[in-house]
Amino acid sequence: MLKKFFPHAYAPDVYAIDYEYLYEQGYQALIFDIDQTLVQHGEQSTKEVDELFKRIHAIGFKTILLSNNSKERIEEFIENIDTLYVAMADKPQVDGYLKALDMLGTSKEKTVFIGDQIFTDILGANRCGIPSILVRFLRHDYETKIGKKRQVERLVLACYRLSRTYQNRLGNVVKEIN
């Protein structure tokens, strides 16, 4: 079955997520992927991302970054962001997710995972029972071709969109659809 790859919600990007709404629903913590979710692969954080984290923290959320990338990469990324992180997370293996929950001090039911890859981010979150939001992966304008893995992701996403049971399981969490 494909359901192990299905996110709980789909958003065009991290800015389209209604974080206030999530908080009102009782969620207390957010786990973010970094590369192609918040910025392009390997890039520094931006003013927009820094501001987003400030806003999210002001709402009351705890945050943690869960990345398969190195400690050095993450340390540079969070220069202006006050957040926890787990490096070399080895997603979709569950250990990194469980460590993130432990560091946050929250339960899986009160935490939401946000990431761009079905076969790592979302699969791992589902294995742990953490609700997830898939965001459209960021890419440069000059990148016209997409890889095989992304093409398979598109197929899974198309099936997800046909599934009323699995779509929109977090309610009105998306503010806008591009």
* Residue closer to Mg ion (CB basis): 28 or 43: 43
Q: What is the largest CA-CA distance in the chain?
A: 42
126 binds Mg ion (CB under 5 A): no
Q: How far from the centroid of its chain's Cα atoms is residue 62's Cα?
A: 14
Q: Is 67 in the site for Mg ion (CB under 5 A)?
A: no
The piece of 21-29, 108-116, 145-153, 164-172 that touches Mg ion (CB under 5 A) is 108-116
- Least distance CB 13 / Mg ion (angstroms): 13
Q: Determine if 153 is a binding residue for Mg ion (CB under 5 A).
A: no
Contacts 24+ apart (CB under 8 A), 74-80: 74/34, 76/44, 77/34, 77/39, 77/44, 77/45, 78/45, 79/44, 79/45, 80/45, 80/50
Shortest distance in whole angstroms from residue 130 CB to Mg ion: 16
Instruction: Output Rg (C-alpha) for the chain, integer angstroms.
Output: 15
> H or E segment at 100?
helix 95-104
> Binder to Mg ion among 7, 19, 35, 45 (CB under 5 A)?
35
Contact range with Mg ion by CB under 5 A, out of 6-14, 34-42, 96-104, 166-174: 34-42
Q: List residues binding Mg ion (CB under 5 A).
A: 33, 35-37, 116
